Structure 1
């Protein structure tokens, strides 16, 4: 059984947060032959990376790994140019001689790779990494910008620029007043509702909710569009009052649980992923009960629901500051990147949209760093950035 400490070290390596001392520990652990199969199995399951182990060698693994990380440090600032394209979060350079894409095998030969890739072109790049920001719409219709470094405080709410907190001591007996929290492209935000429920909102999302919940009645909020992760305050703390999340064509009923809801306007499916507890998905014609590690997919065109098991880490990676692209097409990936970096991504050739990519990347990386990793697919030859428009070629 792999220890939690080793699992954390592997995760830190993939997200480029590992220190040299931690790297030393991980390297020594990998060099033990009895740990090799555990390592490969864990990486395949949790990071969607298919590693060719036939030519695996451990004698120089530590030396190569340390050399790679040291070079990665030096090149990090300069990685806007092609000469610094690395495999980093996409493959384990110190272990694999290559990795397998959905569309074929790409050998780990950097010189051969460079021959097939053109130099990226950047013109007037103004693309910034996403950050904490939101627009709060009060019950009177007025708007308040919430952003890093800006403090807001009223008799019912307070914000430090990263999260919005409602007074949990108040309940509503009169007519309920509603607020809206809108997250623009390039933003994210965290909110604590008046009942103690925690909600994390992803880019390009909007939620409607009461300033205070009416005592003794169902606690109800609406995800108007976008993606949100809910950690619901249990009904046992609210005199048995259930919690419901409304969204396009469905209602999610919960008693106290954690789940992710994804319902973007430019997608025809609504995804509900249960992490802990139990939820009931209700539509006009269907009712489905989800267990942990299950996801329901609602097709809003025909109102059908499919339930299947999923890898929770992949589905909620955005909450942990990661992009987990497990066998995702570049078209799907482009939508995610467009929301986080507030850009428009276009394809010079339609067939590029279907190319599959596997990788775990950090959300705090620049768009150039993300694109340079995607270049290693060997299907994307180059990219062009002009202001907030990216063309993949």
Structure 2
């Protein structure tokens, strides 16, 4: 029971709890004993890097309790009211400077001081490599502007111009995001794409008016906010990769198709999409995730918390019962490091929590060390967990 409650607390703090979950949590916290457990949880797992003697932190905990307090049936009515949204927003702002991280193991290892070779490892930034139609390669990064006949970049995003239906032949560019990078692109039709670390997108510099709009996620992860087909003479939008095709009319969805992962994940945020794996087509509805194994072509569909899946594009990594091995894959891509598990049993330890993408690698490792690992070593760009 307590593990389920802990999960609900994290979902509440990350603004991803449903009205029903909030109701369960508010009833639970009415018990004075549970209120103390709630405070202990917040103090231990939310404010790991914060001075808990600070009076402001005490106020935050009390505010959490006030926000979550049961108010009869009004709980279901206030979730969309501005004051409640403001309270939740305040909680999220707190989490920008704090970190939640809960190890699913009950016991903690003995603490050993980590071995660190002083090599600065910085969080990722906005950067990409643009490959033009003639093969020219251009580095895009914050602080450097770039312009072509078809596009403009300020180093943090690249925006393509609408050709007003003049293009007669498709000409392609590639946008490649390295490890330690992310980038935002606006296609010529107005479709927005957020690309995560270690990703590549192939797309035309302009679309042929009235024809199907098609791009390719060669590998990696991308969030798409597609310009509606009604604005483009009914032209559908399609995202292809090696193992599947996703066709939409105008919607928001996330595709994760990394080369070092066994599955491809397509998550629908809003609207409707059709996923085609070459044998079968499947319609997704919002909050559904299509999971495809490209080696066997088998797939499954699951209900997911889309805010957790897509939080990466908003500056946060969210995890709910995720093995440490998978968490460190995310860390590896964002901080451009290699991770070695000297103790293989650590790989399967599950965590729930939130990590601000701007915090240092040392902070992340200290958080994990406080709950699960004996020691870690940083040597240049390699992290070893013991």
What TM-score does the superposition give when structure 1 sets the normalisation length? Answer: 0.76
**Cα gap change, 1:40 to 1:187, in 2 (>3 Å):** farther
Instruction: Tell me the alpha carbon deviations over residues 80-136 of structure 1, each in whole angstroms, 9 at most, x when there is no partner.
Output: xxxxxxx95226xxxxxxx6x433x25xxxxxx6x8111111103231110000000
**Cα gap change, 1:196 to 1:72, in 2 (>3 Å):** same
- The aligned residue for residue 382 of structure 1 is 375
Could you tell me which of 232, 236, 239 is aligned with 2:230?
Answer: 236
- The aligned residue for residue 23 of structure 1 is none
Instruction: Tell me, yes or no, if structure 1 residue 263 matches structure 2 residue 265.
Output: no
- The aligned residue for residue 326 of structure 1 is 320
**Cα gap change, 1:388 to 1:71, in 2 (>3 Å):** farther
- The aligned residue for residue 17 of structure 1 is none
Structure 2 SS opposite 1:124: coil
Instruction: Tell me, yes or no, if structure 1 residue 218 matches structure 2 residue 212.
Output: yes
- Does the CA-based 8 Å contact 2:274-2:281 persist in structure 1? yes
- The aligned residue for residue 53 of structure 1 is 34
Alpha-carbon distance in structure 2 between the residues aligned to 1:299 and 1:160: 38
Alpha-carbon distance in structure 2 between the residues aligned to 1:371 and 1:276: 35
| 1:171 CA drift (Å) | 3.3
- Does the CA-based 8 Å contact 1:156-1:167 persist in structure 2? yes
RMSD between aligned residues:
3.1
Instruction: Tell me, yes or no, if structure 1 residue 209 matches structure 2 residue 193.
Output: no
Instruction: Tell me, yes or no, if structure 1 residue 167 matches structure 2 residue 161.
Output: yes
Which consecutive residues of structure 1, in runs of 5 or more, have no partner in the other structure? 1-6, 15-36, 45-51, 74-86, 92-98, 107-112
**Equivalences, count:** 324
| 1:55 CA drift (Å) | 4.1
- The aligned residue for residue 99 of structure 2 is 89
| 1:71 CA drift (Å) | 9.4
| 1:376 CA drift (Å) | 2.4
- Does the CA-based 8 Å contact 1:170-1:194 persist in structure 2? no
Structure 1 SS opposite 2:365: helix
Instruction: Tell me the alpha carbon deviations over residues 233-262 of structure 1, each in whole angstroms, 9 at most, x when there is no partner.
Output: 000000000000001210000000000000
Alpha-carbon distance in structure 2 between the residues aligned to 1:9 and 1:272: 25
Could you tell me which of 99, 102, 105 is aligned with 2:104?
Answer: 102
- Does the CA-based 8 Å contact 2:163-2:206 persist in structure 1? no
**Cα gap change, 1:336 to 1:287, in 2 (>3 Å):** same
**Cα gap change, 1:57 to 1:212, in 2 (>3 Å):** closer
Alpha-carbon distance in structure 2 between the residues aligned to 1:338 and 1:40: 36
